[in-house]
Amino acid sequence: NAGVMQNPRHLVRRRGQEARLRCSPMKGHSHVYWYRQLPEEGLKFMVYLQKENIIDESGMPKERFSAEFPKEGPSILRIQQVVRGDSAAYFCASSPYQGAEYGYTFGSGTRLTVV
Amino acid sequence: EDKVVQSPLSLVVHEGDTVTLNCSYEVTNFRSLLWYKQEKKAPTFLFMLTSSGIEKKSGRLSSILDKKELSSILNITATQTGDSAIYLCAGPNDMRFGAGTRLTVKP
């Protein structure tokens, strides 16, 4: 079991471009959470998804940001028309169900830099 | 929206000291609280607390939940430089984290 896989590890985009961040949960996990972390700050919840459903997107900006978790394939966090303020580390976590006994497993994150 | 508040935000100690980190929460339909440690990469799971008054231990780390006070503490005894990290707590109902406590252990 390879754990939670995020790619790319590092992503550089120019202002106005699109960024696509991928998260493959652990095998058997159908719940995915996305977080954003600015330097020297904590993890800010963005969105919670189950397969083919967005359960809670209250932490995600209403414009330019979207997330999906299709029946097949990884979960995708998409940021359109990136701006410098989007530069951050983006982490995803997965679990087999909500309230999993051993917590949630995090990926290593994608560090997005907008130049 | 559930609310999780951690204190202190930052703490500097010397090796061998004992530290206590605090997490208070306002969570509807509380089921459990999670503690994580984050170094320069992904957060790693430490503890999940569901029952009040029952201490969980892992080596020099221990944690306990007080449902009456809506809080939890994380204790680290005989700290080492390798304990330097950000310690995060979260309510798993919606997996929202507090701002974290940045612990620095000096040799």
pLDDT of residue B1: 63
Pair B39, B87: CB distance under 8 Å: no
Kindly determine whether residue A42 and residue B97, on different chains, have CB atoms separated by under 8 Å. yes
Q: Give the model's confidence band at B32: pLDDT under 50 very low, under 70 low, under 90 confident, else very high.
A: confident
Put simply, the answer to whether B45 touches A41 (Cβ < 8 Å) is no
Query: Where is mean pLDDT largest: A73-87, A94-108, B88-102?
Result: A73-87
What burial class does residue B68 get, using C-beta atoms within 10 Å of its C-beta: 0-12 exposed, 13-18 middle, 19+ buried? exposed
At the top level of CATH, which class does the domain B3-106 belong to? mainly beta
Q: Are β-strands B61-66 and B10-14 bridged in parallel, bridged antiparallel, or unpaired?
A: unpaired
Q: Considering only CB atoms, which chain B residues are within 8 Å of A98?
A: 92-93
pLDDT value of position A99:
64
Q: How many CA atoms lie within 13 A of A74 on its CB side?
A: 20
| Cβ pair A104:B45 closer than 8 A | yes
> Which residues 22-41 in chain B show a CB within 8 A of chain A?
31-32, 34, 36, 38, 41
Give the whole-angstrom CA distance, residue A61 versus residue B78. Answer: 42
- Closest partner residue to B32 (CB to CB) among A41, A99, A106 is A99
What pLDDT, in 10s, does the model give residues B66-105?
988 889 999 999 999 999 999 999 876 667 889 999 999 9
pLDDT at residue B27, rounded to an integer? 72
Compute chain B's Rg from CA coordinates: 13
Asked if residue B68 lies in contact with residue B52, where contact means CB atoms within 8 angstroms, the answer is yes
Domain ranges of chain B: 3-106
Q: Which residues of B touch A25 (CB under 8 A)?
A: none
Q: What is the mean pLDDT of residues A9-27?
A: 97
Contact in structure between A94 and A103 (CB atoms under 8 Å): no
pLDDT at A100 over 70: no
